[in-house]
A and B are shown apart, each in its own frame.
Chain A
Amino acid sequence: MTQFLMFLVNGIAIGCGFALVGSGLVAVYRITGVVNFAQGMFAVVAALSATSFVALGIWHGVAELMAVLVGGFAGLATGVVAVGRRGTQPLTALLVTLAVGFLAYAIEVLVWGDQPRSLPGLDGRAALLGVPVQRQYLLVIAVTAVVFVLLWLFFARTYLGKALTACASNPYAARVVGIDVTRMAFIAFALGGVLGGVAGVLVAPLRPISFDSDVSLIVGGFAAAIFGGLTRPMMALAGGVLLGITEVMIRAYGDASYGTVGALVFLIAIMIWQSARRPTLHKEAV
């Protein structure tokens, strides 16, 4: 039982990483209709930046915050390339973000080399209901909870958040009332970068990050986000946590090497199930 609880916390923490990447996808998709393939790259850039900042002797905490900002800038830059030009269609923009990811590979390898790097996190374990749990896992879960509450407050309570929701809800009407929808799309991408950055600095102490870690992060994040149809952050959280727990449980009680396969099959199954429920919607949403 103790062991099961340990796995559970472990799974939730891993799922939080997916959920954070996924929420970044949601933030961008809601407002621009673009699935941002570079979302995993933001996490990688932030994680790698954090290792450099720490190596430079910058305090933990400050280094991570700076790294998250770097993620935000990466998001903004991606947004400018992907949706800055008028008339870029969403599926084209998806491929553009894919290309941005490739370009980022070049920069990442140039700056950090091609070997995985890890970031020191919180050491040791804490007792949670008598179960010893790694403190980094608890940190991940706590920060994710705070981030999602802030995200909810941002969209529900702030004027800018409401304007972003307005753009998502009806871009034509947003232009009618004078909102610069392209600039709002940039804001969405920057927000996506920040969320990806938070995911990166949280996950980096759990697993070494190299330039091509973005694929597993983006696929996990997409799987989490698709759970809520790519539009609902809270469903992305639920999807991410479910995914993380599934993955850890398969590793623990099944075959370790099939841990990610479970998540991937889950992703495909969810999408097919959704398309069977709303066939026309999917067609038009292309």
Chain B
Amino acid sequence: MSNVPETAVDSGPGGPHGESVIEVADLVVRYGAATALQGVSFSVGPGEAVALVGPNGAGKSTLVNALSGIVRPASGTIRIRGRLAHVPEGRQLFGELSVEDNLLIGAWGRSDRDPAPVYAVLPELRGLARRKAAALSGGQQQMVAIGRALMARPDVIAVDELSLGLAPKVVTGLAAHLRALNAERGTAVLLIEQNARLAFDLCSRAYVLEAGRMVVSGACEELARSNEVARAYLGGGTGEEP
């Protein structure tokens, strides 16, 4: 299952041969008889921004769920150096709790639960602190979800479908926050996106996942120029999802 066609040359800071924060080799995940991931390998270097693109149902969310330990792999290895925080698809906030309580729960298992550093990165959240999470707009919720993940002081943050269901303007704002987080604080970012245009714009390197396999990987600039990828993922990509 490891004959994954690697078409492009790896590049970017850290690179896969350095001390990667995430290193996944030959990962297989099954749900009963259905195989969701069949021998996936990839890596994220420290401080790197890596995109994982692919169509709906390709296994992207399964991959992140496996990274954060929610789904148990059938075989293969996952090595994470440092802490990984997961921003799940669909935000998945604690709707009954206030924004600040959502953040505090994000620091579960840590003694340091001061939300101030997160407010420094995402200043909009300070004003929403007392609001109930369920009462927020989609963009605000996504920001809370990112903030909640940051409360774990992660070395790498995995964001599953940042843009899903959000207006392009809102997505641009959130993307700017992620970019700043990556550039200024050195937090590695793994961006799982259907919207390849956004992903390529934000990240330096990307992997393309289709039907449970990595089909292409390489520098975003090269991938964006590749005819095949462009036709499949950048064709009518406007940032809106059906």
Chains A, B in direct contact (C-beta < 8 Å): yes
In the assembly, what is the distance between CA of A172 and CA of B65, in Å?
10
Q: With A169-B94, A170-B93 in contact, do A162 and B108 touch (Cβ < 8 Å)?
A: no
User: Are B97 and A177 in touch, CB under 8 angstroms?
Assistant: no
User: Are B92 and A162 in touch, CB under 8 angstroms?
Assistant: no
In the assembly, what is the distance between CA of A66 and CA of B104, in Å?
34
In the complex, whether B164 has a CB less than 8 A from a CB of chain A is no
Q: Would you call the interface of chain B mostly helix, strand, loop, or mixed?
A: loop
User: Are B92 and A168 in touch, CB under 8 angstroms?
Assistant: no
Q: Mark B79-92, 1 if CB is under 8 A from A, else 0.
A: 00000001010001
B71 to A: closest C-beta gap in Å = 10
Q: Please indicate the chain A residues that have their CB under 8 angstroms from the CB of B68 in the complex.
A: 176
In the assembly, what is the distance between CA of A166 and CA of B163, in Å?
24
In the assembly, what is the distance between CA of A183 and CA of B94, in Å?
18
CB-nearest residue of chain A to B85: A177
B105 to A: closest C-beta gap in Å = 5
In the complex, whether B33 has a CB less than 8 A from a CB of chain A is no
- The contact size tier of chain A is 10 to 19
CB-nearest residue of chain B to A159: B104
In the assembly, what is the distance between CA of A166 and CA of B107, in Å?
13
Q: Mark A159-202, 1 if CB is under 8 A from B, else 0.
A: 10011011011101111111100000000000000000000000
In the assembly, what is the distance between CA of A166 and CA of B113, in Å?
16
Q: Mark B137-181, 1 if CB is under 8 A from A, else 0.
A: 000000000001000100000000000000000000000000000
Q: With A166-B97, A178-B109 in contact, do A172 and B92 touch (Cβ < 8 Å)?
A: yes
Query: Which of B94, B109, B113, B152 has a CB less than 8 Å from the CB of A170?
Result: B94
Q: Would you call the interface of chain A mostly helix, strand, loop, or mixed?
A: helix
CB-nearest residue of chain A to B87: A176
User: Are B97 and A169 in touch, CB under 8 angstroms?
Assistant: yes
Query: Which of B70, B95, B109, B113 has a CB less than 8 Å from the CB of A176?
Result: B70
Among B68, B92, B93, residue most surrounded by chain A Cβ atoms (within 10 Å):
B92
User: Are A163 and B88 in touch, CB under 8 angstroms?
Assistant: no
CB-nearest residue of chain B to A162: B101
Q: Please indicate the chain A residues that have their CB under 8 angstroms from the CB of B109 in the complex.
A: 178
CB-nearest residue of chain A to B160: A176
Q: Please indicate the chain A residues that have their CB under 8 angstroms from the CB of B201 in the complex.
A: none
User: Are B106 and A177 in touch, CB under 8 angstroms?
Assistant: yes
User: Are A176 and B86 in touch, CB under 8 angstroms?
Assistant: yes
In the assembly, what is the distance between CA of A178 and CA of B107, in Å?
9
In the complex, whether B96 has a CB less than 8 A from a CB of chain A is yes
Q: Please indicate the chain B residues that have their CB under 8 angstroms from the CB of A165 in the complex.
A: 94, 96-97
User: Are A175 and B97 in touch, CB under 8 angstroms?
Assistant: no
Among B94, B97, B104, B148, residue most surrounded by chain A Cβ atoms (within 10 Å):
B94
User: Are B96 and A173 in touch, CB under 8 angstroms?
Assistant: no
Q: Which of A133-170 contact B (CB under 8 A)?
A: 159, 162-163, 165-166, 168-170
User: Are A173 and B108 in touch, CB under 8 angstroms?
Assistant: no
User: Are B93 and A173 in touch, CB under 8 angstroms?
Assistant: yes
In the assembly, what is the distance between CA of A172 and CA of B89, in Å?
11
Q: Please indicate the chain B residues that have their CB under 8 angstroms from the CB of A179 in the complex.
A: 105, 108
B96 to A: closest C-beta gap in Å = 5
Q: Mark B116-147, 1 if CB is under 8 A from A, else 0.
A: 00000000000000000000000000000000
Among B95, B96, B106, B148, residue most surrounded by chain A Cβ atoms (within 10 Å):
B96
Q: Please indicate the chain B residues that have their CB under 8 angstroms from the CB of A176 in the complex.
A: 68, 70, 86, 88, 92
A170 to B: closest C-beta gap in Å = 5
In the assembly, what is the distance between CA of A159 and CA of B102, in Å?
11
- Would you list 28 pairs from A and B whose C-beta atoms are within 8 A, ordered by A residue? A159-B104, A159-B113, A162-B97, A162-B104, A165-B94, A165-B96, A165-B97, A166-B94, A166-B101, A166-B105, A169-B95, A169-B96, A169-B97, A170-B94, A172-B70, A172-B88, A172-B92, A173-B88, A173-B92, A174-B94, A175-B70, A176-B68, A176-B88, A176-B92, A177-B105, A177-B148, A178-B109, A178-B152
**Which chain A residues have a beta carbon within 8 Å of chain B's beta carbons?**
159, 162-163, 165-166, 168-170, 172-179
**Which chain B residues have a beta carbon within 8 Å of chain A's beta carbons?**
68, 70, 86, 88, 92-97, 101-102, 104-106, 108-109, 113, 148, 152
* Nearest 6 pairs of A and B residues by beta carbon: A173-B92, A169-B94, A166-B94, A169-B96, A166-B105, A176-B86
